Structure formats: C-alpha cells, structure tokens
Amino acid sequence: MTEPSVSENVVPQKQPTHPMDSWLRQDRLPHIWCPGCGIGIAFSATIAAIKESDFPREKISIVSGIGCSSRAAGYLNIDSFHTTHGRAIPFATGLKLANPDLKVFLFAGDGDLFSIGGNHFIHAARRNMDLTIICINNYIYGMTGGQFSPGTPMGAMSSTSPYGNQDTPFNLPHLAEAAGAAFVARWTTAHVRQLKKAISTAFQKRGFTFVEVISPCPTVYGRRNKQPFGIQMMKTLLETSQINHNARGHEWDILLDKPVVLGNFIDRERETFVERQKAFQEHMETYLSEKEIKGGTYGD
Ligand SMILES: Cc1ncc(C[n+]2csc(CCOP(=O)(O)OP(=O)(O)O)c2C)c(N)n1
Ligand code: SF4
Ligand SMILES: [Mg+2]
C-alpha cells in the first residue's frame, strides 16, 4: 500500500462566505470599479437596504443606464436590466406599468440621469412615477475618461475643462423637489448608515423617490483635482459636509469652497402615477360605456 501524498492528507477548507454573496452574480466578478471608488459602498448600502426591506427578492428589479455606476445592475443577483445610456427611466417606467406589483429602482450616474437622461428624470418626477432613483454623483463622466458632467462643480478640472469648469452644476435635490419627487435625500459614501437609512425610506415610500450619493472617483476626477486617493476624498467628504435636514433648496448648491449640505430634505405625499392610472382607467371605462349607450362618438 502506498502512503497518501501530502496533498491527499490536507483537510479541505470550507470557502469563507460573505453575508452578501448570495446577492451578487458571482460569475460577473471581479467588478470593474477602481480601488478607492465609492460606488461599491453605495452598492452595498443598497443591498443592505433591500435585505432589510419586506420585498421578496422576486418582486424587486434594478434598472441602470451606462457608466461605472450603472454597472451595479449587472452585479446584483435579482432581476436586473442594464439598458442604454440615459434610458433607464423610460425602461423602468415600462417595467413598472407592465407589472405594478414590482418594486423598481434605478442605480445610475450623474451623467446618465441628468445629461442624456435629464428630460426623463424631470417628467418621471412630475408624474410621480413609482420609481426609486439612486444617483451616484461623482462629479464626472467616470467611465469615458473624466469629461465634465452636469454634476461637475464650477471651477473643477476635468478632461474637457482643463482650465476649470465654467458651468454651474445642477442642484440635483432642488431639481427633484421642483419637478415633484415625493422623497429627496442627499448623503455621501462617507455616511454609510444615514445613506442606507435614506435608501430604505426611499424604497418603502410610494411614488418618485430620489437619493443622491456623493461618491469619490479618484481615478478620473480626484487625480485632476489634487485628491488622487479615495481615502483622501472620503476624508474631505466628511470634513466638508454639513448635515441639515431643514436646509432649503438654494442651500443645497454644490460649490467647491462651501460645505456640501446633506440630509433627508423632502418627504411629502402626492398621488402616484400608478394610483392615478387605476382611477383614470375607471373614469375611462365609465366614459366609454356612457358614449356607447348614447351612441355618441369618442371626443363628443
Ligand atoms: C448614447 C450614448 N452616448 C454616450 C455614451 C458614452 N458614455 C458611456 S458612459 C457615459 C458617461 C457616464 O457618466 P455617469 O453616468 O456619470 O457614470 P459614471 O461612469 O461617472 O459612474 C457616456 C457619456 C454611450 N454609451 N451612449
Ligand atoms: S473611473 Fe471613477 S467612477 Fe469609474 S470605477 Fe474608477 S473611480 Fe469609480
Ligand atoms: Mg458620474
């Protein structure tokens, strides 16, 4: 009889597991996010919020556009749709209307949601469409090499503003509020607990809910703006932000020399699109049946 080899004697070790493993599409890993990027923090805060919620996994869908942030849809192990640039909202709207029982949320970037997708955002908010939007605002088009975006602060460097950005960025919470969102919050990736709580609230609430997440992009934003490391950017986010839930719209502007105001700013009740649609359906059926009885034509 031959002696067992050393390798045969080794007791097989159980692979360590992570509490979020089952929420990730393991075949898609490793992910594309750079070391120091904040997207992963926002992504795990989102998973934690989903885990805590009452929604069964098969009743939740994530939709994203295109960008580093939008890659999240491909990594999350639920029904996910990685759509085209700027078109996540119309896609998600279709999904929600086809199956109103679903909880549909978006995870996408400042460029995707507010440049090419900006019009969809304001109209979905106006209609109080039943969607939760998580926007990663890293002040830049990360994926395509650091062009300025509608989130880039005035004066900040980018690959397309080598002398500083001359435009004012959108005040995203103010835009969401003005357009009609039911819940509006802003946190950073350095405020994980508050962020997770805001995402939970946004998930539970009816209608159009919006959470802006200020997130470091050391690779294409930080390096051009004297903060090449993610940890430095996180420290700056902590040092230069102020929590004030009662601040109002104009105080939410992002300026390089002023603290960034954070909080759960807006929480209000408005009839949602899906609710209105049900009522409208009934109204339409009554209208049509009356027309039929009287023998009139549509539009009379
Ligand atoms: C129709 C169309 N236009 C432009 C692009 C190129 N593009 C891909 S991602 C992106 C910007 C992404 O920026 P953002 O949404 O802020 O995401 P980030 O990468 O910063 O997370 C652009 C312009 C594209 N894919 N499709
Ligand atoms: S380029 Fe920026 S946003 Fe994209 S993964 Fe790298 S650090 Fe994150
Ligand atoms: Mg971006």
Does residue 33's CB lie within 6 angstroms of at least one atom of ligand 2?
yes
What is the model's pTM? 0.93
What is the CA(222)–ligand 3 centre distance, in A? 12
Domain boundaries, the chain: 23-269, 273-300
Cα–Cα dist 256/207, whole Å:
33
Fill in the DSSP letter of residue 229. S
Does residue 66's CB lie within 6 angstroms of at least one atom of ligand 2?
no
Does the pLDDT of residue 77 top 60, yes or no? yes
pLDDT at 17: 86
Does residue 147's CB lie within 6 angstroms of at least one atom of ligand 1?
no
Atom of ligand 2 nearest to the CA of 216: 7
Ligand with minimal distance to 82 CA:
1
Does the pLDDT of residue 161 top 90, yes or no? yes
pLDDT at 22: 94
Does residue 38's CB lie within 6 angstroms of at least one atom of ligand 1?
no
Cα–Cα dist 268/214, whole Å:
23
pLDDT at 294: 61
- Which residues, 6+ apart, have CB-to-CB distance to 75 below 8 Å? 24, 25, 28, 29, 31, 43
pLDDT tens digits along 184-215:
999 999 999 999 999 999 999 999 999 999 99
According to the 3-state scheme, what is the secondary structure of 43-90?
A: HHHHHHHHHHCCCCHHHEEEEECCCCHHHHHHHECCEEEECCCCCHHH
Does residue 159's CB lie within 6 angstroms of at least one atom of ligand 1?
no
- Which residues, 6+ apart, have CB-to-CB distance to 266 below 8 Å? 173, 176, 177, 181, 182, 183, 184
What is the CA(85)–ligand 1 centre distance, in A? 6
* Domain 23-269 in this protein, CATH class: alpha beta
Q: Whose Cα sits closest to atom 6 in ligand 2?
A: 34
Whether 261 contacts 244, CB under 8 Å: yes
Residue 15: pLDDT band (50, 70, 90) is confident
Cα–Cα dist 136/70, whole Å:
9
Does the pLDDT of residue 119 top 70, yes or no? yes
Residue 1: pLDDT band (50, 70, 90) is very low
